[in-house]
Amino acid sequence: MDFNAFILVLLGIGPWGHRPDFDRENDARPGISREPDTALGNSWQPDRYLQRIHSLDSVPRPGSDAMMVRNPDPAVDALVTAYPEIFRQPPQERTSVKLLVTGGAGYIGSVVAHQLVDAGHEVVILDDLSTGFPANLPPRATFHELSIHRVADVLTPAAGFDGVLHFAAKIEVAESVANPEKYWWNNIEGSLALLRAVRAAGTPRLIFSSTGSMYTGDGSTPFDESAEVRPANPYAATKATVDLMIAGECGASELGAASLRYFNASGAVATGDTHLGERHEPESHLIPILLQAAAGQRDSFTLYGTDYPTPDGTCIRDYVHVADLAAAHLLALEAIRPGEYEVYNLGNGSGYSNRQVLDTVREVTGRDFPVHYGPRRPGDPAVCVAASGKAGTRLGWKPQRPDLADIVSDAWEFHRSVHGD
Ligand SMILES: NC(=O)c1ccc[n+]([C@@H]2O[C@H](COP(=O)([O-])OP(=O)(O)OC[C@H]3O[C@@H](n4cnc5c(N)ncnc54)[C@H](O)[C@@H]3O)[C@@H](O)[C@H]2O)c1
């Protein structure tokens, strides 16, 4: 059975888009208003939307650096300088766009939520705090501690959301292999609940956190958006499934959406007194694991696989700074068009080997620790690097902090802010 057929069987649906509860007629159900109740409205009105974008554009832009929001964190400051149009200081009279961020207490979602607030938007966060942290929430955001399955309680037709950024998900590959149902329930059924609410509310825009790990080719060339999708584990399968679900929804309604396929999110940012960085339990990502070893919180580090067909024999991955990933969300929000669905791969386009990451962590932290060498792990491709040309040309996205030493140094700052030295 091919992948699409598998997904359709999994979801229990037939041909694309034909689900009675998703039919257009349902928009006229009593109690579901298509009337806008905010400046932009919760119903899709392309002309008004374009007008609104123009009015946002016509807001006077800062003429000099002195008017720009300067941030002492180099990761944030680089973005403010690179994308003045999305980080300009909003004047009082500007009406903000209202956005729902699911999973906004987590690592990537919280960085995006902070950037959205900084860009002058009204942000509402839904998160069940299963892996997120209240300390990550931006002070000026509204927070609902709620499961994604109950998103319709918040994303109501009357709430007037202009868009949704959907980060809420379980993300542990090993756990997904051991307990796939947990992943079907959280990531697929949770996203289905979201799509139903989006449809009922007439929310015009959706950005989804997808993953580059669904590409499992041999990595001999960087993966662009046309690379074969062949998920190697249930986690990646949930992301590929939700991508297809969203594509179907855009084909069947006026929803405009983008799936952003991140490669290895990494690094951290400091905004005010808040440090936002990677904190997963158990930690399965390379850089934070190495930092734990550097900080003496692990006795040693095990490097799996030293006989890959790469220059130093270890796997090569594409590390992209979380602040750069976050900026792509703001750019994608502005680029979304009604009824259209786009996929963007987000990475730096140049990989670093596990051994290079290990050396960089030792260099940046100035700490040494014992390293063991283990066999290859099943399902680990030799090379996984993004071709992000589409995000560059269509969104104007260009990573501002691509250097591995900078990424590790920001992550180390975060690590020390949370765990001490
Ligand atoms: N970290 C990466 O390298 C990476 C790479 C590719 C894609 N992604 C995707 O990006 C998104 C964010 O990942 P992250 O690294 O920030 O993970 P994270 O675990 O830090 O954040 C996920 C957030 O979602 C919340 N959440 C989980 N299940 C929920 C549910 N059922 N209802 C409500 N909230 C729920 C968690 O409490 C958490 O705050 C995920 O969708 C993930 O699949 C991450």
First to last CA, the chain: 52
CA–CA distance, 335 with 332 (Å, rounded to integer): 5
Phi, psi (deg, nearest 5) at residue 123: -120, 130
Contact 199, 22 (CB under 8 A): yes
Contact 308, 381 (CB under 8 A): no
168: helix, strand or coil: coil
CA of 140 relative to ligand 1 center, distance in Å: 21
Residue 296: other Cβ atoms inside 10 A:
11
For strands 352-353 and 269-271, give the pairing: unpaired
pLDDT, tens digit only, all 421 positions of the chain: 444 444 444 443 332 222 222 222 223 222 222 223 333 233 323 233 223 332 333 233 233 333 344 566 787 777 777 777 666 544 444 457 999 999 999 999 999 999 999 888 999 999 999 999 999 999 999 999 999 999 999 999 999 999 999 999 999 998 999 999 999 999 999 999 999 999 999 999 999 999 999 997 877 889 999 999 999 899 999 999 999 999 999 999 999 999 999 999 999 999 878 899 999 888 889 999 999 999 999 999 999 999 999 999 999 999 999 999 999 999 999 999 999 999 999 999 989 999 999 999 999 999 999 999 999 987 788 999 999 999 999 999 999 999 999 999 999 999 999 987 6
Check if 315 has its Cβ closer than 6 Å to any atom of ligand 1.
no
Check if 262 has its Cβ closer than 6 Å to any atom of ligand 1.
yes
CA of 110 relative to ligand 1 center, distance in Å: 10
- CA-CA-CA-CA dihedral for 247, 253, 258, 261, to nearest 10: -20
Contact 177, 234 (CB under 8 A): yes
CA of 68 relative to ligand 1 center, distance in Å: 31
**Nearest atom within ligand 1 for CA of residue 239:** 43
CA–CA distance, 88 with 85 (Å, rounded to integer): 6
138 residue type, one letter? P
258 beta partners: 207, 342
CA–CA distance, 199 with 25 (Å, rounded to integer): 11
Ligand 1 probe mutation, 131, 179, 283, most atoms within 8 A of CB:
131
Contact 381, 219 (CB under 8 A): yes
From the list 320, 400, 322, 319, the residue with the least C-alpha distance to 78 is: 400
**Nearest atom within ligand 1 for CA of residue 110:** 16
CA–CA distance, 304 with 372 (Å, rounded to integer): 9
Per-residue pLDDT reduced to its tens digit, 18-42: 222 222 222 322 222 222 333 323 3
Check if 347 has its Cβ closer than 6 Å to any atom of ligand 1.
no
For the chain, helix (H) and strand (E) counts, in that order, are 14, 16
Phi, psi (deg, nearest 5) at residue 166: -110, 100
**Nearest atom within ligand 1 for CA of residue 213:** 6
Residue range 3-267+319-349 forms a domain whose CATH class is alpha beta
CA–CA distance, 42 with 37 (Å, rounded to integer): 7
CA–CA distance, 265 with 346 (Å, rounded to integer): 9
Per-residue pLDDT reduced to its tens digit, 316-325: 999 999 999 9
From the list 151, 139, 145, the residue with the least C-alpha distance to 114 is: 139
Check if 259 has its Cβ closer than 6 Å to any atom of ligand 1.
no
Q: How far is residue 257 from each of residues 42, 334, 380, measured CA to CA in Å?
A: 15, 11, 30
